[in-house]
Amino acid sequence: MNQGTDILVAGAGAAGLTVGIALAQAGFEVTVVGALDGRRNARTVALFEASLRLYRALGLWDRLSPFATPLERIRLIDDTDSVFRPTPVLLRASEIGLDAFGANIENADLVAALAAAARETPGLHLIEDLLGDFLLTSESASARLPGGERIEAALLVGADGRGSRVRAAAGIGAREWSYSQTALTALLWHAKPHRRTSTEFHTRIGPCTLVPLGPTAERPNRSSLVWLMSPEDAERRMALSDPELAAEIQRQVHDIHGDMGLEGPRGAFAMSGLRCNRLTGTRAAVVADAGHFFPPIGAQGLNLGLRDVAQLVASLNRHGRNDPGAPKALADYDAARRIDVATRVAGVATLNRSLLTHAMPVDFARAAGLMAMANIGPLRRALMREGVAPAGRLPPLMRTPRGDRGADARG
Ligand SMILES: Cc1cc2nc3c(=O)[nH]c(=O)nc-3n(C[C@H](O)[C@H](O)[C@H](O)COP(=O)(O)OP(=O)(O)OC[C@H]3O[C@@H](n4cnc5c(N)ncnc54)[C@H](O)[C@@H]3O)c2cc1C
Ligand 1 center to 374 CA (angstroms): 33
Residue 407 confidence (pLDDT): 38
Beta strands 132-136 and 124-127, pairing class: unpaired
Measured CA to CA in angstroms, residue 311 lies from 140, 331, 335 at distances of 22, 12, 10
Mutate to test the pocket of ligand 1, among 17, 40, 160 (most ligand atoms within 8 A of CB): 160
Ligand 1 center to 55 CA (angstroms): 17
SS3 61: helix
Report whether residue 185 contacts ligand 1, using a CB cutoff of 6 Å: yes
In order, the DSSP letters of 275-291 are: EES-SEETTEEE-GGGT
Residue 374 confidence (pLDDT): 67
Please, what are the domains in the chain? 2-68+106-176+273-355 (3.50.50.60)
Report whether residue 34 contacts ligand 1, using a CB cutoff of 6 Å: yes
pTM of the predicted structure, to 2 decimals: 0.93
Residue 163 confidence (pLDDT): 96
Q: Give the residue ranges of the chain where pLDDT is below 70.
A: 1-2, 82-84, 354-368, 371-375, 380, 391-392, 402-411
Ligand 1 center to 293 CA (angstroms): 9
* Residues paired with 75 in a beta bridge: 90, 199
Residue 30 confidence (pLDDT): 98
Within 10 angstroms of residue 136's Cβ, the number of other Cβ atoms is: 20
Residue 37 confidence (pLDDT): 84
Q: How many CA atoms, within 13 angstroms, populate the side-chain half-sphere of residue 83?
A: 3
Residue 204 confidence (pLDDT): 80
End-to-end CA distance of the chain: 50
Residue 50 CA to residue 60 CA, distance in Å, equals: 14
Residue 130 confidence (pLDDT): 96
64-109 pLDDT tens trace = 999 999 999 999 898 877 666 777 889 899 988 889 999 999 999 9
Ligand 1 center to 131 CA (angstroms): 17
Report whether residue 145 contacts ligand 1, using a CB cutoff of 6 Å: no
